Structures are given as C-alpha cells and as structure tokens.
C-alpha cells in the first residue's frame, strides 16, 4: 500500500477533528483503515460505495460470533444478507476490471490477481474465479481492518495514560516532521521512527489484539510435563505470555524502552509466529506509525473514557467505549 495514500487519508480525517472537539478513536480508525485497505486491494474510493461496504463488512464481522440461527431477526441472518451484498458489489468491481484489464494500470491486489493469469511468460498464478478473488479480498479486509483499528485505539489510550512517553514521542516526531522534505510521509521517514516503533510494539504487547490463537496437534508430544495427544486443539495464549513477569519485567507498565533490548524468542506474539505469522504485519506497523505521527504532531488529547471495560462479544481485544477523546490542536501544528 502506498504510505502516501494512508497518510493523506489520516490527514484528512484529523483535519475534521478540530471542529468536532470530541471524537471516538475506534470509529475514526475503522474508517481510515477500511478506506486505505479498499484502495490497496481494489482501488475503491467512491465515498458512498465505501460506506455501504464498510457497514456490510461490520455486519459480517458481528455475525461471525453469533449463534448460527438463520431467522430474519437474527444477527447471523443479517450477516448472511450483508455477505451477499458484499459479493454483489465485489463481483461488479471484479467483472469491470476483467473487462478493461489490458488497458488498466492500477497498482492494487485485484490487478495483480487478474493480470497474473495473463502474463506473457506463461501463467504466474492459476486462474482464479470471481469467488476465489472475492474470498481473498474479504479475508484481507477482515483480518486487517479491525485489528489495526483496535491497535491504533489502544495506542492512543496508553499514550494518554503515559504523558512522559507521549512527550518523548512528540519530540522525536516533531524532529522528523521538520526534516522531512515531502508533504506526505515516506518509507524513509517511517524508518527513522525508532522510539515510535517501540511505542507501537509496546501497545501491541499490552493490548494483545489477538489474545490467543488455536492450533491442532499433528502428533502426540510432550511439552514440559504435559502430554498432548494427536488431534487435540491447543490454544496459544499470547496475552498470558505478554503479561508474564518472568518474560517481561513489570509487565503491566507501559514502557516502550523495554524493547531497546532484544526480546526472548517467541515472547512477542502480537502477530503470531512461524509459518502462520501475520501476512499484514509490516503494513499494520506502517499504518500505526503514520497515524501516530500525524496525531502527535497535530493534537494533544485527553481521554473521556468513563467505561474501561472490554467488549465481551468481540473477536479481538477491544474497548467497549471505542475510546472517546477530546482534542486540542498543538500550537505549531498543521495537517497540511
Ligand atoms: C495490528 C494489526 C494486526 C494484528 C494484531 C494481527 C494479528 C495477527 C495474528 C496474531 C495472526 C496469526 C493468527 C494465527 O497464527 O492463527 C494473523 C494472521 C493473519 N493476518 Fe494479521 N494482524 C494485523 C493486521 C493485519 C493486516 C493489515 C492484514 C492484511 C492486510 C492481515 C492479514 C493477516 C492474514 C491474511 C493472516 C493469516 C496468515 C496465515 O494464516 O497464513 N493482518 N494476524
């Protein structure tokens, strides 16, 4: 994904915050990440179409945890209907692109999936049906949007609670802003964000957005004194690992400098590990860094969160309130 595009979306969204005064961070982050991903995947930018699709994806997402009873008033039923509408919208987009594929020079995943079939050196990819392309696109949206939006929200919350970290971060980011030549962030700028990268990592550790993930034992084995039988389902408890005092000293303290030192192997599981490591790991980190840069160089904020509980019916670790904040523009800032 072009960092420039994500940065532009963030700047535009943040620009509107000043007038509103109070915003719910999760809702804002959901919109920005959704729009960025739709652009990256299929160059979709039409605002009404994006908004309709976003609402349908949210409905599908809710239905994933619902009891599977297909009656008109159930969340499950509404999810199935939303999925049908998504299928229709994506089919329209895919068919249209197939029609103009030879002349189109979009740099998105859809173009890659379709033109791979037509390479002059022979097929790079097997021919994919509309359904396979649709499933790939929807999987990436579902895996990438909510996770990243929640990660951004937790990061904003932790920084509000840790003003000393916020000030160190602001110093770093203002320096980068002063020296950056382009009006939009570049990969070079992101690579200079040494302290911010640790803020991102520490937020992911503390929040454990994907708190656990399941595996199936392929053969009988023994782990320490535990005997595990072939076929058992084992949950990897990333959250317990991230908060284990024998792994991380003072684990409930938000302390980014802890990552100056190399972590123990397999101790940081925010993006999983091994062959199933998150496919969007670098993209997610870049989105978080770019958001952080714009937020901290534009605003100071204060959390208005009176409800600190977690959403119970959610796939990912998420604040029920979505983290409402009151923002005040920094005196030297500009989102342009
Ligand atoms: C902060 C944001 C994110 C977090 C915390 C996160 C976390 C994870 C975790 C823990 C896994 C491994 C699950 C397992 O081992 O069973 C995973 C897998 C995956 N993630 Fe992410 N993810 C994030 C962002 C993204 C983004 C932006 C994308 C896509 C653009 C993405 C696409 C995927 C995919 C496709 C997989 C499955 C990989 C496979 O099974 O081979 N993720 N993610």
Q: Render pLDDT for 220-253 as a digit per residue (tens, 0 to 9).
A: 999 889 999 999 999 999 999 999 999 999 999 9
For residue 172, give both structure tokens: 């770093």
Which residue CA neighbors atom 8 of ligand 1 most closely? Answer: 271
Is it the case that residue 120 has pLDDT exceeding 70? no
Question: What pLDDT score was predicted for residue 177?
Answer: 93
Residue 153 · residue 24 · CB < 8 Å? no
Question: What pLDDT score was predicted for residue 107?
Answer: 87
For residue 83, give both structure tokens: 């999925």
The ligand 1 atom at the shortest distance from the C-alpha of residue 274 is: 15
Question: What pLDDT score was predicted for residue 105?
Answer: 84
Q: Comparing C-alpha atoms, which of 47, 56, 44, 53 is closest to residue 109? A: 44
The ligand 1 atom at the shortest distance from the C-alpha of residue 269 is: 10
The ligand 1 atom at the shortest distance from the C-alpha of residue 213 is: 16
How many angstroms separate the alpha carbon of residue 281 from the centre of ligand 1? 7
Place of tokens 């904020």: 301
How many angstroms separate the alpha carbon of residue 16 from the centre of ligand 1? 30
Which residue CA neighbors atom 2 of ligand 1 most closely? Answer: 148
How many angstroms separate the alpha carbon of residue 19 from the centre of ligand 1? 35
Per cent of the chain over pLDDT 90 is 79
Is it the case that residue 301 has pLDDT exceeding 60? yes
Distance in angstroms (rounded) separating the CA atoms of residues 142 and 64: 11
Is it the case that residue 124 has pLDDT exceeding 80? no
How many angstroms separate the alpha carbon of residue 228 from the centre of ligand 1? 26
Is it the case that residue 141 has pLDDT exceeding 60? yes
- Residues tagged in the binding site annotation for heme: 278
Bridging pattern class, strands 324-329 and 299-303: antiparallel
Residue among 108, 137, 242, 278 to mutate when testing ligand 1 (max atoms within 8 A of CB): 278
Which residue CA neighbors atom 43 of ligand 1 most closely? Answer: 278
Average pLDDT, the chain: 92
Write out residues with Cβ below 6 Å of ligand 1: 139-140, 143-144, 147-148, 151, 209-210, 213, 270-272, 276, 278-280, 283-284
How many angstroms separate the alpha carbon of residue 139 from the centre of ligand 1? 10
Over range 73-81, report the average pLDDT. Answer: 96
Question: What pLDDT score was predicted for residue 171?
Answer: 97
Question: What pLDDT score was predicted for residue 103?
Answer: 84
The ligand 1 atom at the shortest distance from the C-alpha of residue 287 is: 27
Q: What is the pTM of this model?
A: 0.93
Residue among 135, 143, 208, 214 to mutate when testing ligand 1 (max atoms within 8 A of CB): 143
Q: Comparing C-alpha atoms, which of 265, 205, 215, 264 is closest to residue 238? A: 205
Tell me whether residue 193 is exposed, middle or buried, using C-beta atoms within 10 angstroms of its C-beta: 0 to 12, 13 to 18, 19 or more: buried
What's the complex ipTM?
0.98
Over range 151-172, report the average pLDDT. Answer: 97
Place 319 in a pLDDT band, splitting at 50, 70 and 90: very high
Torsion 238-31-288-154 (CA) sign: negative
Q: Comparing C-alpha atoms, which of 91, 83, 206, 221 is closest to residue 156? A: 206
């Amino acid at each position: 994904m072009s960092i420039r595009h994500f940065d532009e979306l963030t700047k535009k969204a943040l620009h509107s915050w000043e007038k509103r005064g109070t915003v719910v961070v999760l809702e804002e982050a959901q919109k920005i990440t959704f729009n960025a991903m739709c652009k990256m995947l299929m160059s979709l930018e039409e605002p009404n179409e994006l908004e309709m699709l976003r609402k349908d994806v949210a409905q599908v997402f809710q239905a994933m945890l619902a009891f599977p009873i297909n009656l008109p008033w159930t969340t499950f039923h509404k999810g199935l209907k939303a999925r049908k509408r998504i299928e229709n919208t994506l089919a329209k987009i895919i068919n249209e692109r197939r029609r103009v594929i030879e002349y189109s020079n979009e740099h998105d995943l859809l173009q890659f999936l379709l033109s791979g079939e037509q390479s002059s050196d022979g097929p790079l990819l097997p021919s994919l049906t509309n359904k396979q392309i649709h499933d790939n696109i929807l999987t990436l949206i579902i895996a990438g949007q909510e996770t990243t939006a929640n990660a951004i929200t937790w990061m904003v919350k932790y920084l509000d609670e840790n003003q000393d970290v916020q000030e160190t971060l602001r110093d770093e980011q203002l320096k980068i802003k002063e020296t950056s030549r382009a009006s939009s962030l570049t990969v070079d700028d992101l690579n200079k964000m040494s302290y911010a990268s640790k803020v991102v990592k520490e937020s992911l550790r503390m929040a454990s957005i994907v708190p656990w993930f399941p595996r199936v034992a392929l053969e009988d084995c023994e782990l320490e004194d535990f005997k595990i039988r072939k076929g058992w389902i084992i949950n990897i408890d990333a959250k317990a690992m991230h908060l284990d005092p024998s792994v991380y000293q003072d684990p409930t303290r938000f302390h980014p400098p802890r990552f100056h030192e190399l972590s123990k192997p397999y101790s940081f599981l925010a993006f999983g590990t091994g062959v199933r490591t998150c496919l969007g790991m670098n993209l997610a980190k870049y989105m978080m860094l770019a958001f952080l840069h714009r937020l901290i160089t534009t605003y100071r904020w204060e959390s208005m969160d009176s409800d600190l509980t977690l959403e119970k019916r959610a796939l990912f670790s998420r604040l029920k309130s979505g983290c409402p904040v009151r923002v005040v523009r920094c005196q030297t800032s500009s989102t342009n």
